[in-house]
Structure 1
């Protein structure tokens, strides 16, 4: 017959086991409640977005000429030539009923009308107001780089790996016609120069590199002082800089490109 001292450990283990199961069930219930709260609609969330979202050329979203504001006359009159061909007028001088139901990359014909106060002629020399304009079916941001001008940033590093980009504001040239907004934002590679010549930097590195002349020229005065007082790192630093500058890996301190 089992004594009390033998039964007590067994009862104690069974009690602890029951308490452990109850504790685990309670924690699982708490976790389910917290998960349901976090996934509920009342928790503040930002709407989903796509950074690289691109428009689809299928839906007409450009207003017709009749919806253009008549108060534009003072702004465009100064840069609209008079007496020229209608199909060569700048985009700001005409109103076109652009539609997006066209084949991308192919020519499409659009009905256009010269704005009030703008006089133009057909190819035959006869004056006309309404005319047809043929342009390539593409949005303005899809044009070739030569057909628009963008702002240039002088605060981004051009000598970097990977190559840095910046947000540029671009505007289509006057006589280029396209679909969509003529002023748009575009990500471009940093591409500017501070006037430093690669040939000058390489020549200084070969001849006076032991005194830090190449680094001083590039605006890197700390490295220049280091080379000056170490005699070009006993020649080793000088040789390395000749190779790095020759390969274009070491550039101006302001992050610009060589000329």
Structure 2
């Protein structure tokens, strides 16, 4: 039995040696060349992500027009502000006469007719005139330059202003236009106060000092009101409004 066991051990060693020799000879599946080929194949294989690319659809948001805030919803089309409608120009109308204009509501504007039915095309009637021909009550003008000119002057001075037609007023042409306006502002001087000082203390130049006219005030003070003649003349000039504040503003 001992001989048989020793023989089996030797046989196992021979088989193990032959198998290792077969592997390192390059024919086995664990050869170095096969290992390099397998590694290169894995490296060349394209990488695939398990997470699919995002396919989120971006929706475009249409901005709301600025005029929408001025346009009432489901109101009569003929009562809409001018910024909410588009009208065809009718320049062949007669000035000062009523004229009919074809109009449509602007996009995103909802309006109805007299029967409360949705309406897109409608007509309006307005006086045939350009925007700059409107009465002053139908437009508003900027007053930023009104204080740089004198209101008390001969001839009366004007200043450049930018005027805008009111929303409910219809007219032809541009709704924003330049216009020459008369100077009309006040510095806080009261006509009644100036007249009272001229009558009571005019001989001392109090009226001229109050109006900011220091040179004339000093002249009246040292000449005792021009011996009374200058005082009487100033009372008349202030009474009719010819003599005003030195800054060129109007009386209150």
TM-score where L is the length of structure 1 = 0.68
Alignment of 1:95-114 (within 5 A): 95-114=86-105
The size of the alignment, in residue pairs, is 189
RMSD: 1.8
In structure 1, what is the Cα distance between the partners aligned to 2:116 and 2:189?
53
Partner of 2:169: 176
Partner of 1:132: 123
Alignment of 1:1-259 (within 5 A): 73-152=64-143, 153-259=146-252
SS at match of 1:175: coil
Structure 1 residue runs of 5 or longer lacking an equivalent are 1-70
SS at match of 2:238: helix
Worse-superposed segment, 136-145 or 123-132: 123-132
Q: 1:105: how far off?
A: 1.2
Q: 1:238: how far off?
A: 1.3
In structure 1, what is the Cα distance between the partners aligned to 2:219 and 2:63?
62
In structure 1, what is the Cα distance between the partners aligned to 2:169 and 2:94?
19
In structure 2, what is the Cα distance between the partners aligned to 1:72 and 1:237?
70
Q: 1:226: how far off?
A: 2.2
Change (3 A) 1:241 1:125: same
- Report if the CA contact (8 A) 1:73-1:116 is conserved: no
SS at match of 1:166: strand
Q: Which protein is bigger by CA-based radius of gyration?
A: 2
Change (3 A) 1:213 1:72: farther
Q: Deviations over 1:207-241 (max 9, x none)?
A: 11122221122121222222223322222221111
Structure 2 residue runs of 5 or longer lacking an equivalent are 1-61
SS at match of 1:92: helix
Q: 1:142: how far off?
A: 0.8
Q: 1:73: how far off?
A: 4.8
